[in-house]
Homo-oligomer: A and B are copies of this chain.
């Protein structure tokens, strides 16, 4: 219910926590990506029962962010002076695939800038090393899960717009969609 969801997003109201959309064998679901920075030497720790492709998304996101640090007003030295821990809760559920890429990058960017992520915002999309956003599968199931959880905005690749148009519009009333081509657009929408 909306009450439960509100509860979640209030507690999530700290930098480094982003909401993604997953497509599992039981249908669509929302998932949180949590990033914490600590003192370190640029090492990255990944937890939450993640498969190799999902781990590679995190690695790709970190390299992209480091290469574009100045564009996002991040001190480049942080990447060698901090350790990065990314966790995806619900350890009992195996997670994999590239579709959490933009959520991971947003979580990282939020943690490195200290800027919170907009409330009631979810996203799904693969990332490339040069910062493009690629389309992903399971859009219908993901969007309906976001709606059920009380989320109000969703970011995805412009090439997924056609998948949203196939959903009955009654089911997604009140949800705003943002179709993007690159990570810069994602971060402008997501970081407050």
Contact = CB atoms under 8 A, between A and B. Distances in A.
B38 A91 contact: no
A172 interface: no
A137 B129 CA distance: 28
Nearest to A12: B130
Interface in A56-115: 56-57, 59-60, 63-64, 66-67, 76, 79-80, 85, 87, 89-92, 97-98, 101
Interface stretch (A47-55, A147-155, A161-169): A47-55
A118 interface: no
A11 interface: yes
B87 A91 contact: no
Interface residues of A, number: 47
A133 to B, nearest CB: 11
B56 A47 contact: yes
Contacts of A52: 49
Contacts of A90: 98, 126, 134
A181 interface: yes
Contacts of A67: 36-38
A32 interface: yes
Given A34-B130, A87-B128, 20 more contacts: A11-B182, A12-B130, A14-B130, A16-B130, A32-B128, A34-B129, A37-B67, A38-B66, A38-B67, A38-B79, A47-B56, A49-B52, A53-B91, A53-B92, A60-B85, A89-B128, A89-B129, A89-B132, A90-B98, A92-B137
